Structure 1
Amino acid sequence: MATPSERAERGKAARKRAPRSSHGRWIPSSQRPDPVAVLERQSVDRLPDLVPIRYGRMAVSPFAFLRGAAAVMAADLAAQRHTGLTVQLCGDAHLLNFGVYASPERTLLFDVNDFDETLQGPFEWDVKRLAASVAVAALQNGTTKAKAHRAAQVTVESYRLAMRGLAARGELEVWYERIAEDDLMALAHGAASRGRLQERLARARRRTSLQALGKLTVKDGTGRHIVDDPPLLERVTDVDRVTLGKIFSDYRSSLAEERRLLLDRFRFVDAARKVVGVGSVGTRCFVLLLEGRDDGDPLFLQIKEASASVLEQHLGPSPHTHHGHRVVSGQRLTQAAGDIFLGWMTGPEQRHFYWRQLRDMKGSAEVETMSPSVLRDYARLCGRALARAHARSGDRIAIAAYLGGSDVFDRATADFALRYAGQNADDYAALGAAIAAGVVTAAPGV
């Protein structure tokens, strides 16, 4: 095993492969793939009736476009130099893929919360996507380029300082590190800010299966069932009990033994297809309603299709041949605490899926309404959370040594973020033009 000083030297050596100042560059090559073509290739294996909803949601704003364009940015990042300092990447580390959720002990934690694209890769790919999302959000909210640049730089500075702090700590201490509710409250400035944060946390605590029972179901003469709300929520009325039994058995086997016992105490009630997110629209996603002790003891599970990560085309295949396993493994490795029902299975047509609770006190920020100062504070928090996530799977000492004590990497990555925000605006306009020309079909407002 390498010593801390040897690991630090490895990090400094990476500056020769990718000087810290080099991260500020962004000049699209003449061979850059057409962004709409990249999105269209993703649509080939998606449910055709839902693809227009995806385009409609991406066409809402530049930030919405960025959310759905992880594949576009992955190709752009792959065209740049990289450090070779690998971590378990989130793969889609934009601002809205962070948020609060409940630990198994029912403590609210703040962390990365989306892992559909997770894969091993250069740490800076996540940092650059996060910084770019900050710049895009800031500009969309009407701030100046200078303030957008500052917000992006604050994000990267927070990541660097957190990583340097983690590099000096012991292995178990790093593994148990988390950002909990008390840490969030300490970041709120002033009574008004603390009040707004307390309300958002209280709202997250109310987002449970019991709340979903009241919003998504109805009880009539035939019993309790999920309410149809097409095309966003459509009951699966022809559930094959044999198929369902096999699906549950396969999923059950991916859980720890004590959680299998817990799952066995619930019975199946109903299922529905559900449209989720922006970039995920068109992939196969379902919600299952289970019942425990009685009608007032519900459990909603979400079953989401897992396809190849958009990063695999550029970084090589995952060591996990099952993409549901890839997502679950990446989430378990990266998050400070995980969903007790997180698991995976193979569904009909040999498609890969992963399972998790539909609502487990999950909450996310409203980035589009943030003032410049609030956006900076939130971005700083996301940078810290990303560093904590990367420190669990990567060589935090090497990464910290690469980043160093100066702001060279911070400023360069902020330069990139602002330049890439301009590229994202051009790509967003290209999607709008394609929709107007009838090249792709969008369903707005769904």
Structure 2
Amino acid sequence: MSQESATTMRAVRRATPEERAVRGKAARRRAPRSSHAGYEPSKDRPDPLGILAAQSARRVPELVPIRYSRMSESPFRFYRGAAAIMASDLAGSPDSGIRAQLCGDAHMLNFRLLASPERQLLFDINDFDETLPGPWEWDVKRLSASLVIAARANGFDDAERSDIVRATVRSYREAMARFADMSNLDVWYTKMDAGHLRELAEDRIHRRGRENLAHALTKARTRDNLQVFEKLTETVDGRVRIAADPPLLVPLSDLVPVVTRGELERLFRDLVERYARTLSTDRRTLLEDYRLVDVARKVVGVGSVGTRCWIFLLLGKDCRDPLFLQAKEADESVLAAHVGAGRYSNQGERVVAGQRLMQAASDIFLGWERVEGIDGRRRDFYIRQLRDWKGIAVAEEMVPRGMRAFGELCGATLARAHARSGDRIAIAAYLGRGTSFDRALAVFAESYADQNERDHRALLHAGRPGHPEVRTPSRTASAPRP
């Protein structure tokens, strides 16, 4: 957030609730709620594949084909990797002028089950690589379009898709109205825990859906450090190490020659020690009880493929006391070109600050660090646990009623995240009690899903002979540049 934006937000918070509500209603003149309907690409719309290529140029070259391969699989997979394209498209769209901390990539699969530090299972936003302050509408639009794209893949008809989006946006709108009436502390303490999920399931989904939810809650609790330890490690000559699965998971010992390995091992050991300074003192003390024993490069996600991502295996009191940390490269947010760079010079700190602001509870090992690699370049990273009670929805298995319930849950969760940083009273007043905004976003989501399909087809065309941008993933690995 710029100094100007911070000053504006302080002034907003000092206004009375009545003044803030007036501001929200006045914003309808700047951007009528109905103006959010539909999407038409601008005449000077940047080439979407050019946007992807510009991102790829900063990434690990041998991993870039994996990104294109994953995005080629379906329109939904393409959409997951196209946050930069959508940010460019939204930059010229109507907005109310009211700002909040954005996720920046609020598609439906970035909402999932997570563990709180108190060992409660929560439903929350998960991915904050693109987080920055900006127009709150952008997150709602990205969520809405993702639901339509997933619903099309499942064969839902027009009426079913419209119902899903309108229910999702209504849930956001009604939740924001509730937050507008709450005290600041009550907003801050609000969370979506397992008990709340079960209550919602009783009201909104059928018996099979409730059974699936119960299974997901149980399964999420098993996805912890011990589970990933069993899955990703092996014992060689009496030493525990990360098992190779190239090119998706490559241990440091397989990536670089022995002459370079020692230097990199020292670099990563220093990274873990320095990053600990961004943790609270109690969590720093806990981390000091672990020792680093192995490092590997990991391919993660869809849009993130090609960014530098390392996993660290640490052991505590013995080899049955593992801790897996993930250090993920943080580049400039895809929103920055359109909303400003924000207040943080370290991109890892930007991600961590946004995550702590938007999530109800964040990973106890969430922190950041800047690293100077062996190539002399400085890169920013944020660090968190690789896996801690995580559960993700399977969009392909959803029926219309289930996707609608999931969308409602995502809408309310996104409203809570925006209410912590934005002017919840002004946003609620802008949205009002009517369905104008809900209906507008149902139209927008369909129009943008059409655009996403066109962009996906362009990527498939680029993968034909003579278009080298899309290649089969290589099984070879070259020396890394952390």
TM-score by length of structure 2 reads 0.91
| Pairing 1:179–2:192 present | yes
Q: Distance in 1 between matches of 2:169 and 2:399?
A: 19
Look up the match of 1:56.
69
Q: CA deviation at 1:190?
A: 3.7
Alpha-carbon shift at residue 145 of structure 1 (Å): 2.0
Q: Is the deviation greater in 167-176 or in 430-439? A: 430-439
1:396-415 to 2 correspondences below 5 Å: 396-415=424-443
CA deviation after TM superposition for structure 1 residue 79, in Å: 1.4
More deviation, 371-380/234-243: 234-243
> 8 Å contact 1:342–1:356 — kept in the other structure?
yes
Distance in 1 (CA, whole Å) between partners of 2:164 and 2:321 is 44
Partner in structure 1 of residue 447 of structure 2: 419
Show the counterpart of 2:279: 255
1:272 is aligned to 2:285: no
Deviation at 1:242, TM superposition (A): 3.2
Q: Is the 8 A contact 2:209 2:402 kept in 1?
A: no
Does the 8 A contact of 2:63 with 2:473 survive in 1? Answer: no
The residue aligned with 1:284 is: 308
Number of equivalenced pairs: 446
Alignment partners' CA distance in 2, 1:231 and 1:242: 24
**Which position in structure 2 is the counterpart of 1:319?**
343
Cα distance per residue 1:179-226 (max 9 Å; x no partner): 000111112234322221111111110000101111000113241000
Work out whether residues 113 and 390 of structure 2, in 8 Å CA contact, stay in contact via their aligned partners in 1: yes
- The match for 1:235 is 251
Task: Report the more deviating stretch, 95-104 or 77-86.
Answer: 77-86
Where 1:246 maps in the other structure, the secondary structure is helix
Residues 169/315 of structure 1: CA separation in 2 closer, same or farther (3 Å cut): same
Equivalent runs, 1:160-199 vs 2, <5 Å: 160-188=173-201, 189-199=205-215
SS in 1 for 2:391: coil
1:88 equivalent in structure 2:
101
Percent identity, aligned pairs only?
A: 53
Deviations 1:356-393 (A, max 9, x none): 00000011100122111111111111001000100001
Q: String of CA shifts for 1:296-325, please: whole Å, max 9, x gaps.
A: 000000000000000001111121010000
Distance 1:49 1:222, change over 3 A: same
Q: What CA distance in whole angstroms lies between the structure 2 residues aligned with 1:236 and 1:412?
A: 50
Equivalent residue, structure 2, for 1:128: 141
Given the alignment, which residue of 23, 29, 47 partners 2:42? 29
SS where residue 304 of structure 1 aligns? Answer: strand
- On the 8 A contact 2:188/2:420 being kept in 1, the answer is yes
Which is worse superposed, 201-210 or 190-199? 190-199
- Give the deviation of 1:30 after TM superposition: 1.1
3-state SS of 1:355 partner: strand
1:57–1:444: 8 Å Cα contact kept in structure 2? no
Report the alpha carbon displacement of residue 148 of structure 1 after superposing the two structures with TM: 1.2
The aligned residue for residue 226 of structure 2 is 210
CA contact (8 A) 1:100 1:364 kept: yes
Counterparts of 1:65-76 in structure 2 under 5 Å? 65-76=78-89
- The amino acid across from 1:413 in the alignment is L
Structure 2 CA distance for partners of 1:220 and 1:187, relative to 1, 3 Å = same
Q: Is the Cα–Cα contact under 8 Å of residues 62 and 474 in structure 2 kept in the other structure?
A: no
1:54 and 1:442 in contact (8 A); partners too: no
What does residue 5 of structure 2 align with?
A: none
For normalisation by structure 1, the TM-score amounts to 0.98
Question: Given the superposition, is the C-alpha separation of residues 395 and 416 from structure 1 closer, same or farther in structure 2, using an over 3 Å criterion?
Answer: same
Q: CA deviation at 1:76?
A: 0.5
Equivalent-residue separation in structure 2 for 1:100 and 1:57 (angstroms) = 24
Give the counterpart of 2:414 among 368, 373, 386: 386
Q: Which consecutive unaligned segments of at least 5 residues does structure 1 have?
A: none
The answer as to whether partners of 1:101 and 1:360 remain within 8 angstroms in 2 is: yes
Cα distance between partner residues in 2 of 1:272 and 1:337 = 28
What is the CA-CA distance between 1:239 and the residue it aligns to? 4.7
SS in 2 for 1:179: coil
Structure 2 unaligned blocks of 5 or more: 1-13, 254-260, 476-482
C-alpha contact 1:158 1:384 (8 A) present in aligned 2 = yes
Deviations 1:308-364 (A, max 9, x none): 000001111121010000000000000000100000001122100000000000111
Per the alignment, residue 443 of structure 1 pairs with 472
Matched AA of 2:334 = V
Moved over 6 A (4+): none
* In structure 1, distance between residues paired with 2:295 and 2:303: 23
